[in-house]
Structure 1
């Protein structure tokens, strides 16, 4: 029975009160007894409620925020309905008291009183409003919640970083310092590398936010308010460094690895919490980096760009002037594209993708750093803003005769190709600019397009404004040069600052030969042996980022790219800078060692002076210009000849049709009349067509006779007719040869790619099938070429399939080309002459390369010395000013670069002992006084005098024998020690007195 079940589950206080009530009802029914029973009952209930309240408070203290929210939902007061089972359930669980009589029924008066009490509580209960927030905006809500806390979190992070540096670093375990005033404590879940546990979060006096208390204990919260789960900075730092070394590592993979280490199943929500904490950790580090830059006086705009590469930009007093001070290379890459999160896309009538409405969550964060050129700045150079002037070349007379050939070979020169992009992507890739040593200058996002010209123009404009005179290597440098000259604003800036567009060494051979003579690196004075092809090798490493950024948000993609670029500059490019300079120097020395070979080749060719090679190049350029476009007079004559041939054919056709006999008359009178009418109409149509074709051909002949001023129409017996026929057959021969040449070049490139290491199996099979199809096309082209060659007077030599497939180099086939004049007797057109001329230009570029490397090596040596001295001095100044936390960060920055100093000095000492080395590895004096003068920021003190140059030291003697063998390890160590002593002496002298700070 319900009453029995209820009685068994009552509390002790309720049981005693009911027992009193039951015995009293048996004795008497008077109001006085009932009143006493009620008093006893209320006293017992009050005691029980107080005890229950204390227990409930203890339970709430030990619960998480989510558990308290669930309990609150369970405790919502339901609608009173004594006929339902909800009231019985409340009674069974002790949430309501059952007022029953000895007969098992509730007292009517008490039931009404309880109902009235419950109704009053319901009315006074806090009203629950519906949650109108949208999940799409939760990211921005979270960002807004953390925004006012980041600066204070950075303050705490600086203190925490200094504290652990005095212990065991990241391996340190937090312990509450003695004397710390704790305002409160709460349990949170702490996720570390090897375990996850519930630990006490101490709220100390002075912490403005709970997040600051978390950072003080070495944790990063995953929620801006009342976090229940935190991630240790140790775990976040391991993920940050591991991801920079292996960009394919994503948050989800790392979190799953943590779950495997902890021995638990993967937690779906832990990836989101870890991602939030990682973003906050990077934001705090960015604030700390900005504060360090401000403390060092390096917060000026474009400071990083002006100091990106010490070898390119750290100029010294008294150094030789380079013809091209700075060389950079730029290129686009579509691997780092990002899928646009939007509704279902559709395809319009033209075949283009039309994206639906965006489903991306709003996030106004911007990636830290100044690597990126903003989209707004890039769009200033767009076609609609006057930046894309490709179509105006022909109108302004800027299009050269070789532009068409180059445009056919390079897809990014075709506006119809670069303006299209897959609709599923928002950012279709990046446009990167590097210096010649591989340091990142700037980067841009290519947005919903291919490699438009606005990206290159914006890079050139930005670098010219910040850095001044420079040369830019680009795979379509010939077009870039004309774009800059055609733009009114940029052309004036380029002329003022000094600008030169180049074609990279690798891409240059894919251009038209006439274009290569002007823009190829080999022939440009001042570039040295630099190939300006660093973007390709950079992309081969950065492509690993694609797997983790393809479906990321816009902010997370830029954040991943920016952090990767910064890490690459610091730990890859800078660490290998001396190795790169040494390899370039040794290569230049190898080229210079071939000078005697050139002298022997000149003697065999009968060339007396190397100036002759310059004249050969001018002859080649002049000859190529004659081949690039047919003369206008010859073109008209060939067209007139062709029209005369067409006129003679039209006359013969019309004469044959007009002189044809009429159709025979049917012999029988009842012949098919309809068939006769049909035949007659067909003949009349043929006569009319023949006369119309003859009239058109005659009109075209009349027009050309007026343009050529021909006094008498040519006939096959005239000399002009025969000369024009020869030109037409020669053009047909040249075009057949051009077609065959293009197919051979494509076959060579495909063979090279097929045999290249790193080509996958599927791609290799695809290329093999393409080669089979290409082979058939080559055979057909050979047949057409042979046919055109036999038609020549005199006949030209024919080609065989076995002969053509043996060509391994482009130059082999290029020499088969014949122009209007026979150049086979020219020395510059012969293989031996070509090799000698190429060697001459390589020797010129090698001398320029050595001169540039001598300057760059000393710049690097001086930069290492000055940077170490400057950071040491600033660290001491900050400590004296009581800014120990910032001083510690400066120390970390000093150690970041200083860890490579020993390796650099050892390699430089070894390079200095190489025969032929003409540089100087002693530090010089930089033009910029920033690193070697005391920075006065308040303006109330006089600047110290200019630094005196350090004493000159002789270059260590060469230790190599004539046969070029390397030095022993002992000699290398000794040379490295000598160089370190030189640097140490200069540092000691600089720190000893203010006048020697240089």
Structure 2
């Protein structure tokens, strides 16, 4: 009796608990959940024929209840839930959204150990969950739920976060979620499946897909909590979420100071598109959520510019330059138009400042790199130039006009910022290709946010290294150029005149002279006429035709055979004569149209010169083909060492025994200058006699332009360093004022501790900026720490000297003593 009674009590207890979980599931599911659920009914296998997704295969909304329900499954008859996954997700998201303010406050209280009202004696509910942590896995932890308190708020009080908004059977520790958060930011290719398998291995648990989904849902809510906290902090600090990413993300660019030197151009930005961040159109269709990102421009704002290109007036750019660059770029085309139809997002198009901080991102949808993405990311006038990396793929005249080496005001900037960003973001491509739109944007947003944090941390180092690089170039190139100019009696104006002369020359020879083209065409027609005449003469030079068939007998049809062969000869004779007469008419018509009065004979000087020029034209065509192959190969080599890229069709190529030496990048890049290809193609115009074709002169001209750029870089860095020095003081002062304001208005606010934590982090980074910028330019700023102590950073003896040359010499002496 005792055993039977215990069994009945256990069954009654399990049934009661099961009904409670069913009630919670019905609250979470909303009105779409079947109200006809009855333990005594038979299982109904019906399906909703109008559902856009497959039905959920369990009696409850949340898949996380499956683990608990397995204990009673043999005893309970249940109906099949016919709601779609999209409906389940929508109801769950609505519940999470309603609980979010409470969860944010609970997370802040747990993180900063904020004391709360002691009402532990009032407990409205007790439930149990399994807790997953970094170093341990605990089963059936007892959770005490207070009145009117969500279950997840009760979990947050002890550092846990559930995987479901209402029905909780498993929870993840906050430390575990934060660990993966930081790992994912620093290594974008480390996915949720990887961290789930790691935890299963540590806790000796068999991995299955449901665990990955549970961790993913908890991580999504954790990121939303952090995003809500960041929004509150930004509001306190006065950072407008709509404009701050553009106007305040890079202090060295945007934090203008009074009476500073005017830079031209005032800002340097890089724009480019990347096709690695693709996403399949049908991936994650059951997830209707939209991720909130500070970087991405909405599709509606991008489409505002979709028709602007058609309304644009005729471009003033030389069409020959554009066409030449376009032809060279076809060798590097990254996306096949026939392959992008299966993707919803085909890539991203971003805008970044010269210091590497990302301003904004536009998603490229169902197409290539259209003009509307650039217009959307930069909704203002920009002077667009060519980055230095693509110098071997552009027409030489385009380089002389737009390459950073020949433009004033760019300093040592190579405008290769986007390539560095894409080389890093490509690591996230393995996770977002089949992700939902929500997770596609979430992963990229995390990566870009961490990228900006890293770039801001290295901002002082970036300015310092550029300063050192500019001084080293000035120190190295100045004596070499002075000696070269004295030896050859040259000036700086001569280097500029060589570039102008090269540009003018290439403009003149870009198109073939009309007289040369007419001469070559005339000689080609004459050669065809000579061939037709020789063929006709050879046919008519036969004096007698004798034909004796092999089967000739006295009784064979001799007359019929001879007649057939005679007709064939006459037909061939007529055909050759017709071709000769036709070509003769072509030559006469050509002479008439081009006013050629005398027939050119093979020994005439004009004829001989035209033949020689025609042969050179074939050589030029061969050089152009070689140029295209080299450009193609250079673009392949440029991607050879990027993470996550490769060529699947060429895995067996290295195993072959090559009949020729391997093409090495370091060897071929010396001959990849398009200017040298242009000189080679047009050498028949006596260009080799000009100074610009001498290799030593070209190298010295490049050094001279680099020297000018270094002086420009010093001027620009002096301005940007002052921007950064003023910003770090302004940021520290603003945060301290915000903390004092909160202490006065709401001393019990949990945001006070969060602001202090944020201040400590930024103050540490700003001290690093003070260290590097103080060595370039002196500063006399004093910073007050949160506890009232005074912290002197970056002070140097002596007044600040505004003269650029004296500052450069001071830093140069410092570097020489430190080496």
Asked if 1:195 corresponds to 2:81, the answer is: no
Determine the structure 1 residue equivalent to 2:291: 367
Determine the structure 1 residue equivalent to 2:474: 592
Structure 1 residue 569, shift from structure 2 partner: 0.8
The whole-number CA distance in structure 1 between the counterparts of 2:170 and 2:639 is: 52
Assess if the C-alpha contact under 8 Å between 2:129 and 2:169 holds in 1.
Answer: yes
Match of 1:223 among 164, 173, 176: 164
SS at match of 1:503: coil
Assess if the C-alpha contact under 8 Å between 1:420 and 1:449 holds in 2.
Answer: no
Determine the structure 2 residue equivalent to 1:453: 370
Aligned length: 746
Question: Deviation string for 1:259-292 (max 9, x for gaps)?
Answer: 2322333354222111111111111222222222
SS at match of 1:190: strand
Structure 1 residue 833, shift from structure 2 partner: 1.4
Determine the structure 2 residue equivalent to 1:694: 580
Structure 1 residue 905, shift from structure 2 partner: 1.8
Asked if 1:903 corresponds to 2:785, the answer is: no
Larger radius of gyration: 1
Structure 1 residue 960, shift from structure 2 partner: 7.9
Determine the structure 1 residue equivalent to 2:72: none
Question: Deviation string for 1:494-519 (max 9, x for gaps)?
Answer: 3xxxx222222121133222221112
Match of 2:744 among 873, 880, 883: 880
Structure 1 residue 378, shift from structure 2 partner: 3.7
Structure 1 residue 324, shift from structure 2 partner: 1.0
Cα 1:686–1:434 change in 2 (3 A) is farther
The whole-number CA distance in structure 2 between the counterparts of 1:754 and 1:258 is: 35
Determine the structure 2 residue equivalent to 1:709: 595
Determine the structure 2 residue equivalent to 1:16: none
Question: Deviation string for 1:372-420 (max 9, x for gaps)?
Answer: 12334444555xx464899x98xx78553243443233238869x6534
Summarize the alignment of residues 570-719 of structure 1 with structure 2, pairs less than 5 Å apart.
Answer: 570=453, 572-593=454-475, 594-607=477-490, 609-657=491-539, 660=542, 663-664=545-546, 670-671=556-557, 679-680=565-566, 682-694=568-580, 696-719=582-605
Cα 1:160–1:724 change in 2 (3 A) is same
Summarize the alignment of residues 274-423 of structure 1 with structure 2, pairs less than 5 Å apart.
Answer: 274-299=215-240, 301-340=242-281, 358=282, 360-382=284-306, 385=307, 387=309, 400-411=319-330, 419-422=337-340
Assess if the C-alpha contact under 8 Å between 1:503 and 1:519 holds in 2.
Answer: yes
CA RMSD of aligned residues (A): 4.3
Determine the structure 2 residue equivalent to 1:889: 754
The whole-number CA distance in structure 1 between the counterparts of 2:175 and 2:723 is: 38
TM-score between the two structures when normalised by the length of structure 2: 0.80
Summarize the alignment of residues 469-868 of structure 1 with structure 2, pairs less than 5 Å apart.
Answer: 494=381, 499-570=382-453, 572-593=454-475, 594-607=477-490, 609-657=491-539, 660=542, 663-664=545-546, 670-671=556-557, 679-680=565-566, 682-694=568-580, 696-739=582-625, 772=658, 808-810=670-672, 814=677, 818-868=682-732
Assess if the C-alpha contact under 8 Å between 1:255 and 1:270 holds in 2.
Answer: yes
Structure 1 residue 740, shift from structure 2 partner: 5.0
The whole-number CA distance in structure 2 between the counterparts of 1:750 and 1:552 is: 28
Determine the structure 1 residue equivalent to 2:47: none
My pick for the range that moved more, 687-696 or 544-553, is: 687-696
Structure 1 residue 560, shift from structure 2 partner: 0.7
Determine the structure 2 residue equivalent to 1:270: 211
Assess if the C-alpha contact under 8 Å between 1:421 and 1:448 holds in 2.
Answer: no
Cα 1:329–1:677 change in 2 (3 A) is farther
Residue ranges of structure 2 left out of the alignment (5+ in a row): 26-35, 44-75, 783-796
Question: Deviation string for 1:330-377 (max 9, x for gaps)?
Answer: 33333333344xxxxxxxxxxxxxxxxx47433232222221123344
The whole-number CA distance in structure 2 between the counterparts of 1:554 and 1:681 is: 78
Structure 1 residue 247, shift from structure 2 partner: 2.0
Cα 1:419–1:685 change in 2 (3 A) is farther
The whole-number CA distance in structure 2 between the counterparts of 1:128 and 1:751 is: 61
Assess if the C-alpha contact under 8 Å between 2:37 and 2:78 holds in 1.
Answer: no
Cα 1:676–1:189 change in 2 (3 A) is farther
Assess if the C-alpha contact under 8 Å between 1:959 and 1:967 holds in 2.
Answer: no
Assess if the C-alpha contact under 8 Å between 1:602 and 1:836 holds in 2.
Answer: no
SS at match of 2:171: strand
My pick for the range that moved more, 57-66 or 325-334, is: 57-66
Determine the structure 1 residue equivalent to 2:345: 427
Question: Deviation string for 1:139-170 (max 9, x for gaps)?
Answer: 33432342333234334334444435x8xxxx
SS at match of 2:684: coil
The whole-number CA distance in structure 2 between the counterparts of 1:302 and 1:744 is: 44
SS at match of 1:230: strand
Determine the structure 2 residue equivalent to 1:30: none
Assess if the C-alpha contact under 8 Å between 2:331 and 2:632 holds in 1.
Answer: no
The whole-number CA distance in structure 2 between the counterparts of 1:567 and 1:524 is: 33
The whole-number CA distance in structure 2 between the counterparts of 1:900 and 1:364 is: 38
Determine the structure 2 residue equivalent to 1:76: 40
The whole-number CA distance in structure 2 between the counterparts of 1:635 and 1:584 is: 51
SS at match of 1:884: coil
Cα 1:181–1:683 change in 2 (3 A) is farther
Determine the structure 2 residue equivalent to 1:101: none
TM-score between the two structures when normalised by the length of structure 1: 0.66
The whole-number CA distance in structure 2 between the counterparts of 1:961 and 1:715 is: 72
SS at match of 2:141: strand
By relative contact order (CA 8 Å, sep 6+), the higher-ranking structure is 2
Structure 1 residue 11, shift from structure 2 partner: 11
The whole-number CA distance in structure 1 between the counterparts of 2:416 and 2:3 is: 85
Structure 1 residue 876, shift from structure 2 partner: 1.8
